[in-house]
């Protein structure tokens, strides 16, 4: 599989993401935000960072970058697409994922390790994950509070589109384990077609044994080891 990592002005996790993909033996290339050619990439990733300085709303300007027309076309045709942190923000701004990401409830930037619990294994990203495990993954965001109206939340839950929720180290989903005030502790979702994924935590930052944490690597490995589900 060939991965394309989109680089916006202000992206800062593109090299981290490519490094992990290459360590897994995958071909990974950078795609500049002004490009209009995806160079044959099968799977696109919008990485973390502060695209366009996070002016207006996070991801609001990046959504109009020239490459996004091709990104949207790729996803609309069933191609795989994932947004991590700022990339997730771009995806909701582009309407590729439902809901919005609001400023954290404490009105502060948060950078720390949190825990995730897998909620659905019916997706490429989560197919092989342990639903009873608490995955330790870093977060680093100021606008990560997931919000959606009641009808959208119901649809997400009914369709098993909620992929991850924030939990504690014992894999218990509690109010105290919610770092940013996200509704229902939601940390990651997919679209109805299950080919577009978004999550606020950074699995690429927990993918090296030198960091004493490879929980993120377990998540990213699903992209190349899981079976595609209907």
Known catalytic membership, residue 202 = yes
Query: In this structure, how many other beta carbons lie within 10 angstroms of the beta carbon of residue 161?
Result: 24
Catalytic residue among 33, 93, 143, 204: 204
Q: How far apart are CA 68 and CA 88, in angstroms?
A: 13
Q: What gap in Å lies between CA 230 and CA 8, rounded to an integer? A: 32
- Report the candidate in 91, 94, 105, 126 with the shortest Cα–Cα distance to residue 200: 91
Which residues, 6 or more positions from 99, have their beta carbon under 8 angstroms from its beta carbon?
Answer: 92, 146, 147, 148, 152, 156, 189
Strand order in the sheet with 196-199: 27-32, 2-7, 43-46, 80-84, 196-199, 186-190, 162-167, 110-118, 134-141
Q: Could you give the CA distance from residue 132 to residue 155 in angstroms, rounded to a whole number?
A: 24
H/E segment holding residue 18? helix 14-23
- Of the candidates 33, 74, 141, 202, the residue annotated as catalytic is 202
Choice among 13, 85, 167, 190 that is catalytic: 85
Residue 186 DSSP label:
E
Q: How many CB atoms lie within 10 A of CB 205?
A: 22
Catalytic positions = 85, 202, 204
């Amino acid at each position: 599989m060939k991965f394309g990592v989109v680089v916006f002005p202000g992206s800062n996790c593109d090299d981290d993401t490519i490094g992990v993909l290459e360590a897994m033996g995958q071909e990974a290339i950078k795609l500049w935000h002004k490009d209009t050619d995806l160079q044959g990439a099968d799977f696109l990733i919008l990485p973390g960072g502060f695209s366009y300085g996070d002016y207006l709303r996070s991801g609001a300007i990046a959504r109009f970058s020239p490459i996004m027309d091709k990104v949207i076309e790729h996803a609309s045709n069933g191609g795989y697409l994932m947004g991590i942190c700022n990339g997730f923000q771009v995806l909701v701004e582009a309407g590729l994922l439902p809901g919005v990401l609001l400023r954290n409830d404490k009105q502060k930037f948060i950078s720390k390790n949190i825990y995730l619990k897998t909620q659905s294994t019916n997706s490429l990203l989560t197919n092989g994950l342990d639903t009873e495990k608490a995955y330790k993954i870093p977060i680093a965001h100021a606008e990560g509070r997931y919000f959606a109206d009641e009808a959208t939340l119901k649809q997400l839950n009914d369709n098993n589109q909620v992929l991850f929720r924030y939990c504690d180290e014992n894999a218990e989903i509690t109010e105290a384990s919610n770092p940013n005030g996200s509704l229902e502790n939601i940390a990651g979702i997919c679209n109805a077609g299950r080919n577009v994924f978004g999550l606020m935590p950074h699995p690429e930052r927990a993918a090296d044994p030198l960091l004493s944490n490879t929980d993120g690597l377990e998540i990213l490995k699903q992209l190349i080891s899981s079976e595609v589900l209907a």
